[in-house]
Structure formats: C-alpha cells, structure tokens
C-alpha cells in the first residue's frame, strides 16, 4: 500500500527518525576524539548515553559536563573493553541503571605506528585486542541484552581496505572489524539486531596540522572534497545507521572519507 506523503508528514517522519529520546546508547572509547563526538551527538538527539573509557578520566568528566550543560543525559563508566570481565560489568551496569539497551557503538581503538620489521608480538597483540577483540566482546555482550532488537555500529577505518605504511597491525584489525560486521549482521539479523560499520578517513584533531603537516597537505590535495573530516561527520553517520531511517540496512560499511577511496590505484 502506497502512503501519501505531504510536506507536513514528511517533516514529522524526519523528526521521528532521528529522535532517540529515552533510548540507551553505549559508546566505547568515548572520552575524547570521535567517541566523544558520537556520545555528544546521540545525547543531543535525546538518548541516554553510557560513555565508556579506559583511562582518560579527566576527558570523560569534561564530556559529561558538556553533555549535561547542553541538556543531555550521560553516565560514564571506566573499563577496559579488551577484558571480558570489564565488558560484562559494563553491560550489566547499563541494564541496572537504565533497564534497556538499544544501540552500541564500538569505537574503542588505538593506532600506534610501527614497522613490520620492528614490531613485537606484544605490540601486534595489543592493537588487535583494542581494535578487534573489543568489538567481538562488546557485540556479544550487547546482543545478549537486546531481546527486542537493536543496532550495533562498528567504527572501522578506510585503512581496513587501503593500508597505510607502519600500520600493519591496525590495518589488519580494521579489516577484521569489517568482516566481523558482515558476519554479525548475518547471524544477528534474525534477532532484530542490525550491525553496520562506519569507516572514517582522516579526521581533524587538535594539533594535527602542527604534528603532521605533510600528511594533512597530502590528504587535502588528494581528497576530492579537499578537507579533513570531523568527529561530527562520523557521529552523524552513526546517528543515521542507528535510526529508524536505516531500518532495512545491515551489513554495510559506510565510508566517511570525503571521497578519498575514489583515488585511482595507479
């Protein structure tokens, strides 16, 4: 049956699609950077946000203050999401505090630069744990607590498809995140749980032009849109994929990269 649409009811639909009032959203690695931007965006949309962090307590307090000053609701929760016990405590706490879980954003990660010939096995394991093991542990714990369905969004990277030098461990982890996204979408779909990925390109952060001027210049010269992205760009993509507007979308990788991946291979 075709529904007749008017300007009025389209506006109402748009408002409803991106209204997360009283929905509970967990964001791992939320104290700073992209994670903080995602947490703030969902809070502004009405969600109750649970912001996980490992060691950045000062930044987590600053995020909480900012969200609350803007009228949002947030709980902060310290914990290492590479550890199964910490993950269990995080999601048990979510249900104790709020009674529900609607959205998980797997954002925790690290990206040290080390060459293949210099890298130790411990360095490899640490990056795989932070960027990939955490995604598995949190996805499993969240899905077990979503009896009525939900949405899971994994923050991957364009490096999961196009490797950067000195990042073999990170590249491999993010490629794993993309495949885990597909696998989880397949298995969890029958439970009403959608699983998608967002792959950012180069995202602006304080001091990046000073610390990596040549890299920023190369990026802006080769990227079709000619700029770095922001945490808000990534957050808006997450909001869409978690929203009712994306109700029939699962197993996708949404690149948020200003068109960088359109560059020719040769």
Active site residues: 170
| Cα distance between residue 140 and residue 124, in whole Å | 23
Cα–Cα distances (Å) from 120 to 69, 109, 116, 133, 249, in that order, read 44, 18, 9, 18, 39
| Residues 232/204, Cβ–Cβ less than 8 Å | no
| Residues 224/260, Cβ–Cβ less than 8 Å | yes
| Cα distance between residue 31 and residue 74, in whole Å | 12
Helix axis angle for 33-44 and 231-242, nearest 10°, is 50
| Residues 223/197, Cβ–Cβ less than 8 Å | no
Sorted by sequence, the CB contacts under 8 Å of residue 110 that are 6+ apart come out as 126, 127, 130, 131, 170
Q: Which of 127, 81, 121 is nearest to 104 (CA)?
A: 81
């Amino acid at each position: 049956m075709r529904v007749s649409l008017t300007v009025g009811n389209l506006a109402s639909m748009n408002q409803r699609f991106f209204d997360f009032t009283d929905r509970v959203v967990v964001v791992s690695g939320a104290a700073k950077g992209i994670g903080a931007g995602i947490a703030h965006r969902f809070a502004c949309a009405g969600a109750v946000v649970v912001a996980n962090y490992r060691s950045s307590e000062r930044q987590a307090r600053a995020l909480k203050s900012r969200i609350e000053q803007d009228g949002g609701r947030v709980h902060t929760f310290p914990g290492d999401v590479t550890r199964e016990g910490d993950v269990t405590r995080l999601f048990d706490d979510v249900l104790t505090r709020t009674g529900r879980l609607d959205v998980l954003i797997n954002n925790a990660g690290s990206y040290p630069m080390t060459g293949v010939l210099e890298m130790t096995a411990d360095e490899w394991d640490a990056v795989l744990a932070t960027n990939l093991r955490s995604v598995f542990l949190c996805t499993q714990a969240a899905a077990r607590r979503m009896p009525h369905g939900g949405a899971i969004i994994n923050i991957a990277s364009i490096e999961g498809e196009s490797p950067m030098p000195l990042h073999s461990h990170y590249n491999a982890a993010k490629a794993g995140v993309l495949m885990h996204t597909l696998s989880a979408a397949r298995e969890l779909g029958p439970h009403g749980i959608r699983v998608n990925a967002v792959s950012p390109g180069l995202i602006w952060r304080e001091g990046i032009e000073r610390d990596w001027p040549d890299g920023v210049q190369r990026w802006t010269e080769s990227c079709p849109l000619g700029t770095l992205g922001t945490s808000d760009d990534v957050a808006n993509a997450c909001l869409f994929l978690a929203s009712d507007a994306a109700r029939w979308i699962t197993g996708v990788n949404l690149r948020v990269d200003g068109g960088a991946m359109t560059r020719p291979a040769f």
